[in-house]
Chain A
């Protein structure tokens, strides 16, 4: 359902954008060679590909915050939303003959072939479906929702930036959003290392018994036991090889630096 929505949203916007591209002031001579035909062909290819590829990849039930945001965004753009009641343009018909049949799909509905416009609202994990909602009613709801949202309607992926703000911006509220939208990435090797280290600290006493490692002696005794066990395992193999993982998940443990709060 979501994939179909996306397609329709893109198609409607694309019909306008496509025209924009043709008028774009292309400075390079070579650009003139890129004809209208090829642009349209590209656009068709792009849209069809997008449709094929995103079909069926999203499951309606698994609604994440971001998906809800997407729909909120589309809700706040009555133009796209109103697509369902607008007949397809000549351009659209020319580009996508298949669009004719799917054009009637309402954007936010679970059913695909109904004639009564449905409005589906996803709110706080619950899905509400309303039948027979007129375009004006829907637009009114969208405007209300738009006023209610804190941030300006943007696509989820970009950081929620109000670019008209003065220079010394208060980053506090935005930072949380930055982190969820596009969190600072870490290298894979560091991720693994930090995960292993956390595992070690969290299961620092793999054996029950008096092993909260309060004293060094306890630790040593416990350690000697574990080492014994490890040696036993190793002897079973023909060759001496590296232990699989010297980490608590396999019953290993190594001295914790004294100052760590473990």
Chain B
């Protein structure tokens, strides 16, 4: 149905803005040190996806200064923090100016209370203790710290499409080869294709063994939450291959249909999996910066050394703990009143997702996700996602994210986030309807 709509495609040769490169001509007279540029940085082909989207938004705003741009692109929370959470941080900040309340360095692993609260809130009955929880300044930082932990001699597998930080951090730390020009894939990364036809789960029988398997569920960008059976297969694969799963559960609280919220719901997972999560999309902490990583004591390297010991060393050496103020906010968000209030914000975004799903459905477009995650993965068959991104932006002033930014399998898709003020979601829906009908 989509192909019958009048859409003009401008062919785009580059997927993303290619990274700045320097020729000897440009900088002839400029002093150069004798330090070689890190070759892994050279391997990165494009700018990181989300600053690129921001840049395009800024350019569009310049071009159309009177347009009311609605951002359904970067997954940025928009609703104010609940009072109970904000005031806990305000009070904590104030207490730092009192003699009895002042605190200096905190434990690098996070406050004991918060670690315990995270274990009890999210890992109840899964046998995860506070001592296995490491509080961070967010999942993106933890992913890179995990890469530092693993080192450059690791092979990784990722879903395709996927949130780009796993791939980019892998390139930076030196685990990959060069990018293949045609496909945009990096050598030495195992890309596990996730298609709607296979229920967004990879065919594990076709997946080569890698040391690390990154797995994000509910998935960014497809919104798919893996089922219990699927995760059981994944854990089995990891056991058979002796691999470590890095499970990103940042969107677990958006699950509506009873899909597993933690990898540790699967028996045996503690011996093969690390779990990373974040307060960003739970409590609107995208700017406050707070997350956590669980490393079970049972997770051992091939020589029997506990992974948790080395991760702890990384935390103590390469980090100095999340901000105490953010941690106070985190603790408040896990109190009974706090949790209720942050969950109602999650519900708000989930209702946004429902509205958007209805909109795309009414337009005859297939939209995946939106049920267990604040992302819709909309299919525009036969298209190039950057072209669709540009058309939508030009004609409706709505920012989305082109699917190919998440990997080659995203080529015909657009990611639409459900974060936004309700009135903007409704307005965006109207604009899309008037454009695409």
Bound pair (A, B): no
